[in-house]
Amino acid sequence: MLFDGDFLKKLEYLSLISRRVFRGSILAQRRTKQMGGGIEFADHREYAPGDDFRHLDWNVYARHGDLLLKRFQEEEDLHVYFLIDCSRSMGFGNPPKFDLARQVTAALAYIALSNLDRIGIIAYSQEIIADFPLTRGKDRILSLLRFLEKLEPQGTDTNLGRIVNSFVLRPQRRGLAVVISDLFDPNGYERGLDLLRHRTYEPHLVQIHDPAEARPQMLGEIELVDAETDSVRKVTITERALREYRKVFDSFQAGVAGYGKKYGLGCTQTTNEVDFEDLILRMMRTAGAVS
Amino acid sequence: MFFESPGSLLWLLLGVPIVIFYILKIRLRRLPVSTVMFWTQVLEEQNPRSIWQRLRHLVSLLLQLAMLALLAFAVADPYFFWEARSARRIVIVVDNSASMNATDVKPTRLAEAKRQAEQWIAGMRHRDEFALVAAGIQPQVIVGFTSRQKTVSSAVQSLTTTDGPSQVADAVALARRLLGERQDGKQQEVVVFSDGRFSGVEELSSVLAPPSGGHEPPGTTDTLATSPTTNSTAQAPVKLQIIGTRAANLGITQFQVRRSLVDPLGYEILAEVTNASDQPVECRFEVDLNDEPIDVVPLKLDAGGKWSQVFEKTSASGGRLLATLKHDDALAADNTASAVLPRREIQPVLLVTSGNLFLQKVFEVNPLVKLTVVAEAPATVPAGTVVVYHRVAPEKLPAGQVFVIDPANATDLFAIGEQIANPIVTKQDKDSPLMSHVRMDNVLMPEARALTPILPEQTLILAEAVTKEPLFFAVNRPEGRVLVLTVNLDKGDLPLRTAFPITVANALHWFAGNKQDLRESLAAGSLATISSSDFARPAKSASLLLKSPAGELKPLPAIERMTIGPLDHCGVWSIIEDPGLADSGKATAPKISDKTQADESPLLEIACNLANATESDIRPPEELLANTVTTSPVLAGLGSRPVWFWLLLTGLVLTTLEWVMYQRRVIS
């Protein structure tokens, strides 16, 4: 069972030590610039005809005779969207990358819910295959876990760009978009992330790969079967080819890291052998939320 | 092309599974991966080699089938007709006799013979068979016919030197018998490596035909004289490779010692030196006894001359005699010679007589006799004492050695009768050591009495009268030896004859065991028959060892009479007790003990000398040297390897090629 009692205990533990994580640097502090009916005083401005008298600062007027209007910063809920890759390539590895992806999603979502943020989960492969609507409150965690538990790797052609295209067209508030995937997208992961950025979402990447993907050991005449497309490729794998493969893979990983760095995005790269708890703690330490 | 084992070609059927496996190999191992996009990127760079990549599997299959075919054909052992036709069966005869130790060819003739034999063996071709026969002392098949070059080569290297005579003629006969056992159409040949110094070389040379030419290119060497000859008779042809030069050699060809027949302390040495060279030689001949020089003789020998001399010396102690020629020549083995001089022991003699001057003096003049004269026999006699009863003898003769002369009364060993009418010796036992050098024919034995031995089966009649009455007889009883001589010494002329002291001396020797007069020096290569009675002392242990001059020990069988040898090296051979068993006295299996522990006084020593004029003359016969042409062995060339070897070699090359392809395909 992916999400058992121990897992919930760990979630609680993580939520306790991760106060304000989503408002910290890891997910960028997203306090709205909109002035409005909040409770936190921001500044004064001169009264203009038509302003609401209820916001006049009578104390200032009594002392100085100036009509000044009190301004308050309006606080909004932070919306966190989790885009979890459910393609069949995520089912690869031992343990499957998809397990870690779901655990990380659950952990981050629980922390967000603990901070009274709103979260939504979009499971996708070649299209959006499941949607957990925006929700708020820790009491939703169980239904969230059930949602994640039901997810399975599926689909034949991952295309993050197409998914994001349909995602951003939704009538919803902007927020944090956490993409949890191996990013093995034949069409390129950049287009989808670019689209998120352009639509003023704040993308954060959690990239998971299997060590066997990074350092394959097979040699000889082999038929490679693509886990997503089921396409077969007959190859003769030599030591030299392995070396070339490692170079290509390392270059891909470096490209992902470089993309995040270039656009100031949060980027976490990990293998599926890492425990989700350690991974979350590592992300928190990177963000400075825990020491 | 023919096949020795055509059935092995069935191995070619293994090609079927190879092809099947090749076809099955098309269905490659399937391996799921999360994505092939990285592999696509990698493999796109290798596209220029795609044509080769498609072909290399087929090439690999063809290579594997070729390897299988080569292996199958190799196992079938193919051969060509010309191979079978030119196959040879050669017996190599190497002379390892004494003369082959000559150093006129460096390092020795035998080493050179081995080297040349190795050259012949190196020319061994596939389907050739070689055998090796050693021609020293006794012709011996060292290794039978084999096609394995290394076996023959190792056997040649294992040949050791001997000091024995050459037996090349017998070895050639043995080689021909070996060849005669197999008649399968192969060319047969006997190749002899010798210096030509062997008996029968003339006969062997006479049946040898002139060089046949053919595949024998002429050539010469600096030190070797070679005469290739071929026998065209029905027997296998013989090639005689003469090794050696006409080097000069001076050798001791005879060296013997024996105790003097007249002087108990004296001994006589017979020495002979032969100059086997074409030039006169001056040298010095020295004789040492137990490392003490006893004589030195300057010698001057003409070319081919011979010197011989008998030395008369005295010594009671005996020991080892060593003769040395002070002369440098090519053969060292005959520059020294050994002999063993038996030790003389003092013999106590108790003469019981009322008085007889002849009898008393004949013992007194013997320096080895410690004489005691008494009128009446004592109650006890010390052990080892010879008791001589003159006229009066006890009725029961005591145990030990007893000599009864002119008995007047009967004893337990003989009855006495009347006087013999005509007591003239008409018959004597010439074979008995008691009668050696003694002639008693027609000797008058006055007042001789008719004696009747009571133990006839243990009695040996040494001299008898015409009427068959014994006049002189010996009784070999278990408790001691007895001699009885019936003669009145005062009235006959026997004491005045030389036969009398010799008879007494013989009797004393017989009582002493009669084994210390002569120990003949044997020629190298001889066999020696010995018995325990020849030992200087009784053996404490049943386990005996034969110790060579070089100190090597060999166990001897624990039997009374044995033949040892051949004694293949010059020097003094010893029979010793196994020190490991001598103390315990247990008659267990003999074991070879450490050389240093086996230094007890030997039971028996046997001198062994070259003593062979033929071997000392190390000059090869001139007639053989006259036609000096070197016979080069047929070079094996590629033919030294069978076809299967080349097939395997090719298979190995193909395997290497396939391995390289595999490495390039999979690993590198």
Domain boundary assignment for chain A: 5-22+78-209+271-287, 35-73
Helix B357-364 to helix B499-511 angle (10° resolution) is 60
Q: Give the class (CATH, top level) of B83-246+619-641.
A: alpha beta
Among chain A, residues having any CB pair with chain B shorter than 8 Å are 89, 92-93, 97, 182, 184, 186, 210, 213, 216, 218-228, 231-241, 244-245, 248-249, 252
SS3 B123: coil
pLDDT at residue B607 in the model: 93
Structure tokens at B452: 């009747």
A278-288 pLDDT, tens digit per residue, is: 888 888 787 66
- H/E stretch holding B516 reads none
Q: Which residues of B touch A245 (CB under 8 A)?
A: 38-39, 42
By Cβ distance, the residue of B33, B667, B668 closest to A224 is B33
Give the DSSP letter string of B48-67: GGHHHHHHHHHHHHHHHHHH
Confidence of residue A290 (pLDDT cuts 50, 70, 90): low
Going by their DSSP bridges, the two strands B319-326 and B281-289 should be labelled as antiparallel
pLDDT at residue A37 in the model: 56
Which of the pair, B34 or A25, is modelled with greater confidence?
A: B34
Structure tokens at A116: 């009274």
B631-654 pLDDT, tens digit per residue, is: 556 555 555 677 888 889 999 999
- Distance of alpha carbon B6 from the chain centroid: 48
Q: What is the chain B residue with the closest CA to A87?
A: B34
Residue B229 has pLDDT above 60, yes or no: no
CA nearest neighbour of B359 among B391, B401, B398: B391
pLDDT at residue B233 in the model: 41
Which of the pair, B353 or B56, is modelled with greater confidence?
A: B353
Q: How many Å apart are CA A74 and CA A89, to the nearest integer?
A: 43
* Arithmetic mean of pLDDT over chain B: 82
User: Could you give the percent of chain A with pLDDT greater than 70?
Assistant: 87
The DSSP bridge partners found for residue A136 are A118
Q: Which residues of A touch B35 (CB under 8 A)?
A: 89, 184, 186, 226-228
pLDDT at residue B253 in the model: 92
Q: How many Å apart are CA A153 and CA A90, to the nearest integer?
A: 6
Q: How many Å apart are CA B223 and CA B245, to the nearest integer?
A: 7
Which of the pair, A169 or A39, is modelled with greater confidence?
A: A169
Sign of CA pseudo-dihedral B408, B414, B418, B422: negative
Confidence of residue A29 (pLDDT cuts 50, 70, 90): very low
Residue B387 has pLDDT above 90, yes or no: yes
SS3 B26: helix
Query: Using an 8 Å Cβ cutoff, are B574 and B602 in contact?
Result: yes
Residue B592 has pLDDT above 50, yes or no: no
What is the DSSP code (8-state) at residue B136? B
User: Could you give the percent of chain B with pLDDT greater than 90?
Assistant: 27
pLDDT at residue A139 in the model: 87
pLDDT at residue B300 in the model: 92
> Residue B29 and residue A222: Cβ atoms within 8 Å?
yes
- Distance of alpha carbon B61 from the chain centroid: 63
pLDDT at residue B66 in the model: 92
Q: How many Å apart are CA B212 and CA B327, to the nearest integer?
A: 42
Give the DSSP letter string of chain A: --S-HHHHHHHHHHHHT-TTSTTSTTT-------EEEEEEEEEEEE--TT--GGGB-HHHHHHH---EEEEEEPP-PPEEEEEEE-SGGGG-TTTTHHHHHHHHHHHHHHHHHHTT-EEEEEEESSSEEEEEEEEESGGGHHHHHHHHHH-----S---HHHHHHHHHTSS----EEEEEE----TT-SHHHHHHHHHTT-EEEEEEEE-HHHHS----EEEEEEETTT--EEEEEE-HHHHHHHHHHHHHHHHHHHHHHHHTT-EEEEEETTS-HHHHHHHHHHHHTS--
Nearest-neighbour CA in chain B from A220: distance (Å): 5
Residue B81 has pLDDT above 90, yes or no: no
Same fold, B249-344 and B347-511: no
Confidence of residue A253 (pLDDT cuts 50, 70, 90): very high
Q: Any CB–CB contact under 8 A between B38 and chain A?
A: yes
Q: How many Å apart are CA B314 and CA B260, to the nearest integer?
A: 9
pLDDT at residue A74 in the model: 60
Give the DSSP letter string of B142-183: EEEEES-HHHHHHHHHH----SSPB-HHHHHHHHHHHHHT--
Nearest-neighbour CA in chain B from A226: distance (Å): 5
What is the DSSP code (8-state) at residue B72? H
Query: For the residues B496-502, what does the mean pLDDT come to?
Result: 88
Q: Any CB–CB contact under 8 A between B46 and chain A?
A: yes
By Cβ distance, the residue of A184, A224, A228 closest to B31 is A224
| C-alpha to C-alpha distances, B532 to B559, B604, B607, nearest whole angstrom | 9, 9, 18
Q: Any CB–CB contact under 8 A between B49 and chain A?
A: no
Q: What is the chain B residue with the closest CA to A237?
A: B666
Q: What is the chain A residue with the closest CA to B47?
A: A235
By Cβ distance, the residue of A225, A228, A240 closest to B30 is A225
Query: Using an 8 Å Cβ cutoff, are B92 and B193 in contact?
Result: yes
Confidence of residue A241 (pLDDT cuts 50, 70, 90): confident
Residue B105 has pLDDT above 80, yes or no: yes
Query: For the residues B139-155, what does the mean pLDDT come to?
Result: 91
Nearest-neighbour CA in chain A from B656: distance (Å): 19
Q: Which residues of A touch B43 (CB under 8 A)?
A: 233, 235, 241
Residue B126 has pLDDT above 70, yes or no: yes
Q: Any CB–CB contact under 8 A between B45 and chain A?
A: yes
Q: Which of B192-206, B208-222, B468-482, B501-515 has the lowest mean pLDDT?
A: B208-222
By Cβ distance, the residue of B28, B36, B667 closest to A239 is B667
Residue B505 has pLDDT above 90, yes or no: no
Residue B27 has pLDDT above 70, yes or no: no
Nearest-neighbour CA in chain A from B59: distance (Å): 15
Q: Which residues of A touch B46 (CB under 8 A)?
A: 241
Residue A108 has pLDDT above 60, yes or no: yes
User: What homologous superfamily is domain B347-511 in, according to CATH?
Assistant: Class I glutamine amidotransferase (GATase) domain (3.40.50.880)
Q: Where are the domains of chain B?
A: 2-77+644-667, 83-246+619-641, 249-344, 347-511, 522-609
Q: How many Å apart are CA B334 and CA B325, to the nearest integer?
A: 8
Q: Any CB–CB contact under 8 A between B26 and chain A?
A: no
Which of the pair, B594 or B57, is modelled with greater confidence?
A: B57
By Cβ distance, the residue of A97, A244, A252 closest to B45 is A244
Q: Any CB–CB contact under 8 A between B10 and chain A?
A: no
Residue B587 has pLDDT above 70, yes or no: no
Q: Any CB–CB contact under 8 A between B383 and chain A?
A: no
Query: Using an 8 Å Cβ cutoff, are A256 and A183 in contact?
Result: yes
pLDDT at residue B627 in the model: 60
Query: For the residues B154-168, what does the mean pLDDT come to?
Result: 90
Enter the ipTM.
0.80
Q: Which residues of A touch B25 (CB under 8 A)?
A: 221
Q: Which residues of B touch A249 (CB under 8 A)?
A: 38
pLDDT at residue B214 in the model: 37
Which of the pair, B87 or B606, is modelled with greater confidence?
A: B606
pLDDT at residue B88 in the model: 85
> Which fold, B249-344?
Immunoglobulin-like (2.60.40)
Residue B588 has pLDDT above 90, yes or no: no
Residue B596 has pLDDT above 60, yes or no: no
- Mean pLDDT is highest, among A276-285, B353-362, B434-443, for B353-362
pLDDT at residue B595 in the model: 45
> Residue A224 and residue B43: Cβ atoms within 8 Å?
no
Cis, peptide link before residue B566, omega less than 30° from 0: yes
Which of the pair, B271 or A54, is modelled with greater confidence?
A: B271
> Residue B37 and residue A186: Cβ atoms within 8 Å?
yes
Q: Any CB–CB contact under 8 A between B664 and chain A?
A: yes
Nearest-neighbour CA in chain A from B52: distance (Å): 12
pLDDT at residue B34 in the model: 86
Nearest-neighbour CA in chain A from B43: distance (Å): 7
B277-311 pLDDT, tens digit per residue, is: 888 999 999 999 999 999 999 999 999 899 999 99
User: Could you give the percent of chain B with pLDDT greater than 70?
Assistant: 85
Confidence of residue A24 (pLDDT cuts 50, 70, 90): very low
Query: Using an 8 Å Cβ cutoff, are A244 and B45 in contact?
Result: yes
| C-alpha to C-alpha distances, B441 to A146, B424, B464, B483, B500, nearest whole angstrom | 144, 8, 10, 19, 13
User: What homologous superfamily is domain A5-22+78-209+271-287 in, according to CATH?
Assistant: von Willebrand factor, type A domain (3.40.50.410)
